[in-house]
Amino acid sequence: MLDTFKHKGLRNKMVDELRALGISDEQVLTAINNVPRHWFLDNAFLEYAYQNKAFPIGSGQTISHPFTVAYQTQLLEIKKGEKVLEVGTGCGYQTSVLVQMGAKVFSIERQQALFVKTKQFMTDANIRAKLFYGDGYQGIPVFQPYDKVIVTAGAPYIPDALIAQMVEGGRLVIPVGDGDKQIMTVIDKLKGGVLKKYELDEFSFVPLLVDKNWKN
């Protein structure tokens, strides 16, 4: 997997654009600068890898916009060594940015073909995250509790399991809404399990699918 000067130059430019769009956490910007986004795209989209766009990654899914990844990552306020639960692995780009920030990432994906492809890719690229195949609405109970939780698909509601699997002092970042648009929502779990909710900007994600027949 190549990462040429040209790729690095394009990535620097992308990071400058993210800064101009209001991303101010230098740790987030550095992490994004260190992850070769073009590795996550099919060859057909290589030259677009550093444009602020979403692209197909197979199984009808998309890699998130760099701005969306930066925005959600900034909200997570990751500290090195924190345990992060990610719902919606997709191609693993957001996962890799979190790993790059020093997080221990546990990520779950419900599309089996995508899960298999991304797991192989992450092994080949030597990016260390624990990937799971399953329904994100359930979280990943065996490895709870998590310091931070991120959902990378539009959720019609906030799944209880994700709140339950978070530590006190933890934070969930989730786009909420079941139409074309979702409101980026932050839930802080305070002492005693008290929840504090903030609603931020509007985004457009692929849906977090509810699968009534999912067997756990």
Q: Which residues bind ligand SAH (CB under 6 A)?
A: 61-64, 87-88, 90-91, 93-94, 108-111, 114, 135-137, 152-153, 206, 208-209
In DSSP terms, 175 is beta-bridged to: 184
The structure tokens listed for 3 are: 């990462």
Task: Please tell me which residue in 64, 96, 107, 204 is annotated as part of the active site.
Answer: 64
The structure tokens listed for 200 are: 């931020």
Rounded CA-CA distance 102/56 in Å is 27
If the CB atoms of residues 68 and 170 are measured against ligand SAH, the closer one turns out to be: 68
If the CB atoms of residues 63 and 187 are measured against ligand SAH, the closer one turns out to be: 63
- CA-based angle 146:63:88, to the nearest 5? 30
Helix, strand, coil shares of the chain, percent, nearest 5, are 40, 25, 35
We find the least distance from the C-beta atom of residue 109 to ligand SAH, in angstroms, to be: 5
If the CB atoms of residues 152 and 185 are measured against ligand SAH, the closer one turns out to be: 152
We find the least distance from the C-beta atom of residue 188 to ligand SAH, in angstroms, to be: 22
If the CB atoms of residues 50 and 93 are measured against ligand SAH, the closer one turns out to be: 93
Q: Residue 92: is it exposed, middle or buried by C-beta count within 10 angstroms (0-12/13-18/19+)?
A: buried
We find the least distance from the C-beta atom of residue 98 to ligand SAH, in angstroms, to be: 10
Residue 75, H or E segment: helix 66-76
If the CB atoms of residues 61 and 74 are measured against ligand SAH, the closer one turns out to be: 61
Dihedral sign for Cα 45, 103, 120, 207, please. Answer: negative
Rounded CA-CA distance 17/61 in Å is 25
We find the least distance from the C-beta atom of residue 114 to ligand SAH, in angstroms, to be: 5
How long a stretch of residues is the chain? 216
- CA-based angle 56:61:67, to the nearest 5? 70
Three-state DSSP state, 58: strand
Residue 107 falls in the annotated catalytic set: no
We find the least distance from the C-beta atom of residue 95 to ligand SAH, in angstroms, to be: 7
Catalytic residue list: 64
